[in-house]
Structure 1
Amino acid sequence: MPVYRRADLSRTIKLVVALCLTAVSTGVFAREFRAADTQNEDYPTVQALGYMGSLVSERSGGRHQIKVFHSRQLGEEKETLEQTRVGAIDLNRTNVALIGTMVPSMNVLAMPFLFRSIEHLQKVLDGPIGSELLNSFEPYGFVGLAFYDSGARSIYNSVRPIRSIDDLKGMRLRVQQSEQMSATIRALGAEPVELPYGQVLTGLSTKLIDGAENNWPSFVTTDHYKFAGFYTLTEHTMSPEVLVMSQKAWSSLTPQDQKIFREAALRSSRFMREKWRDLEEHSRKQAEDAGVRIITDIDRKPFEAAMAGIYAKAQRDPAMAGLIERIRKVE
């Protein structure tokens, strides 16, 4: 049986400690990060998370992987956001209207009739304002990585065509679990019903609700169009999706790996934008082919005028008022 000298043991211990410190400093420890998305496997946001995962794996030399849990496998959005904030989930794709209940600056992106077009929205998100908004997450337990497109949200229902604001009176419409979205629908004369995304189909099929509001892909991929035959192009909000990371997961990364994650997220945003355009066109055609009546001849001015109280409340906050003004000035 070999006998080791004290000097040999000391050198061995020092070598092991040095190797461990090197591993920590260079970030060679592998880790699998969990990402949550409530949409189905083929949805552009889920595909974008998968694309981001492949970039992270490639650029980290296989040390880091992202496992995407789609189709509400980790829960509804509100639940997964709470889990992300405490670090139980590492990455989360959500809509700004919902996370606005936790990160107040996000509410500006869900303001009704704020954006003149999708192109206007993209210029805002791709410019200095978008960067500032992503940087506003950290005090609330998140790190903002990228925005994803979500198109324009419009009202659909099973009762009647909506051509004027009066047609909405008394109608029960599902909204996101957001005070601002409830206030928006209430200002239009309808009754908002806050429901998790996964419960909307049941609400429509059982007549618990008369309708809801969302974009074309969400309307079709969830089968809502089978129970709501009237789709009115109100396009009242263009609230985007946002990809966030928990502070806990972010702080576990080295600066080099943080750069890899941030760059991969931004590339996934551009990847998602192309996928989104295709799905949006396909979804509208699928709804039309199924017999959904699309109402385009609406008088939008009364809808916009009804938002005066929403804006008056928001603009009591000088920071919010300033953001709204800056967004309107973007050309």
Structure 2
Amino acid sequence: MSHFSKFILALSALIIIAQFSFDSDLGNEAVSIRIAHGLDVQHPVHKSLEFMDERLKTISDGKMSLTIFPSGQLGSEREIIELIQIGTLGMTKVSASSLEAFVPEMKIFSLPYLFNDHQHYWDVLTSPIGQSLLDSGVEYRVKGLGYFDAGSRSFYTTHKKVEAPSDLNGLKIRVMNSQSAVDMVNTIGGAATPVSWGELYTALQQGIVQGAENNPPSFYYSKHYEVSKYYLLDEHTSIPDVIVVGTHLWDSLSAQEQVWLKQAMDEATDYQRKVWMESTEMSLAKVKEAGVTVMKADKAIFQDSVTSLYDSITSESIKRLVADIKQMGER
């Protein structure tokens, strides 16, 4: 994206933001919280945010609501987080990976094959470990309000079938702009190539990258299945989405308003987990109908390929988190 395009995007975002005001200290006036994300309006995350808005209105008797900006209208995940940090946006939905640059502890979710299964994953998210991770961004002016399910990420490729780590050799695989994601794909055997989500379809189509990795709903709703004909369900990482609220906004809410917002978040999480499961099943069925070869991976050989990532961890806090999470999986 050119500097001029970025300027226009930023200017447009500020114009949009200026049309809405946050009125938490204006007595009886309603609080309208602006929340932005990068996904399509048909995506289960967007539908769950719409559900959260409706529940917030009901719980607060119309005193609070959300104004949702989908599809990257206000910029990339990193740009949106920065808007929250400077206080011009209230909330967002971002991948935990996108928070790594702001909240180092979030790197834990980018470690491959950390969770035994989906139940282990949610046991951790709903435990004191999960809550401490949500709170760890407060010093960076971002507070995690709750988690949304983002399933498990798996590899998809345009022309070459991948069934083992060695099949990734020589393939440029798109990853998020996350050093942990880069390290993981490089360790497994691919050539990790950061590409923005909005540019990925074209990058796959033109052969700039030969593959990517993501969950089934994102693979389907992005239409990447149109240019990627192989999908290997190796489920290497389970990286949750995080609903983030700026500390400037959270601290300005009354205690009652905080309770209402948290209740709406909790109800939206339950709703989103159900919708996500249904969407995952539907997405896999749809891409198969479209001619995509969907394969189950032999996870053992992929797990063996990433042991060096765990051996190379130097952060004592990350080591403790790994140990605590592994211990939870043994119960």
- Pair in the same fold by TM > 0.5: yes
Give the drift of 1:71: 1.1
SS at match of 2:115: coil
Aligned to 2:155: 155
Aligned to 2:327: 329
Aligned to 2:233: 233
Contact 1:59 1:260 in 2 (8 A): yes
CA 1:27–1:320 in 2, change beyond 3 Å: closer, same or farther?
farther
Q: How does 1:1-331 map to 2 (within 5 A)?
A: 27-296=27-296, 298-314=297-313, 316-330=314-328, 331=331
Give the drift of 1:76: 1.6
Q: Which amino acid aligns with 2:310?
A: Y
Once residues 28 and 304 of structure 2 are traced to their aligned partners in structure 1, the CA distance between those partners, rounded to angstroms, is 57
Once residues 92 and 260 of structure 2 are traced to their aligned partners in structure 1, the CA distance between those partners, rounded to angstroms, is 17
Once residues 32 and 24 of structure 1 are traced to their aligned partners in structure 2, the CA distance between those partners, rounded to angstroms, is 8
Once residues 94 and 257 of structure 1 are traced to their aligned partners in structure 2, the CA distance between those partners, rounded to angstroms, is 23
Q: Which amino acid aligns with 1:215?
A: N
SS at match of 2:74: coil
User: What whole-Å deviation, never above 9, does each CA across 1:154-184 have from its counterpart, x for those lacking one?
Assistant: 0000121111111100100100110000010
CA 1:319–1:81 in 2, change beyond 3 Å: closer, same or farther?
same
User: Could you tell me the percent identity over the aligned residues?
Assistant: 28
Once residues 118 and 293 of structure 1 are traced to their aligned partners in structure 2, the CA distance between those partners, rounded to angstroms, is 24
Range that drifts further, 130-139 or 140-149? 130-139
Range that drifts further, 285-294 or 303-312? 303-312
User: Number of paired residues?
Assistant: 307
User: What whole-Å deviation, never above 9, does each CA across 1:232-284 have from its counterpart, x for those lacking one?
Assistant: 11111011111010111112211111111112111111110011011000000
Once residues 52 and 163 of structure 2 are traced to their aligned partners in structure 1, the CA distance between those partners, rounded to angstroms, is 41
Give the drift of 1:26: 9.1
User: What whole-Å deviation, never above 9, does each CA across 1:84-108 have from its counterpart, x for those lacking one?
Assistant: 2222221110111111121111111
Once residues 24 and 119 of structure 1 are traced to their aligned partners in structure 2, the CA distance between those partners, rounded to angstroms, is 38
The answer for unaligned runs of 5 or more in structure 2 is 1-22
Once residues 94 and 185 of structure 1 are traced to their aligned partners in structure 2, the CA distance between those partners, rounded to angstroms, is 21
Once residues 290 and 24 of structure 1 are traced to their aligned partners in structure 2, the CA distance between those partners, rounded to angstroms, is 49
Once residues 134 and 59 of structure 1 are traced to their aligned partners in structure 2, the CA distance between those partners, rounded to angstroms, is 23
SS at match of 1:124: helix
Contact 1:77 1:196 in 2 (8 A): no
Q: Which has the larger radius of gyration?
A: 1
Aligned to 2:4: none
CA 1:67–1:164 in 2, change beyond 3 Å: closer, same or farther?
same
User: What whole-Å deviation, never above 9, does each CA across 1:39-58 have from its counterpart, x for those lacking one?
Assistant: 11121111121111122222
Contact 1:32 1:64 in 2 (8 A): yes
Once residues 288 and 160 of structure 2 are traced to their aligned partners in structure 1, the CA distance between those partners, rounded to angstroms, is 16
Contact 2:85 2:141 in 1 (8 A): yes
User: What whole-Å deviation, never above 9, does each CA across 1:91-148 have from its counterpart, x for those lacking one?
Assistant: 1101111111211111112211101111110111122211221121211111111100
Give the drift of 1:28: 2.5
Q: Which amino acid aligns with 1:126?
A: T
Once residues 276 and 299 of structure 1 are traced to their aligned partners in structure 2, the CA distance between those partners, rounded to angstroms, is 24
Aligned to 1:18: none
Once residues 78 and 196 of structure 1 are traced to their aligned partners in structure 2, the CA distance between those partners, rounded to angstroms, is 11
Q: Which amino acid aligns with 1:63?
A: K
Once residues 279 and 72 of structure 2 are traced to their aligned partners in structure 1, the CA distance between those partners, rounded to angstroms, is 20
SS at match of 2:170: coil
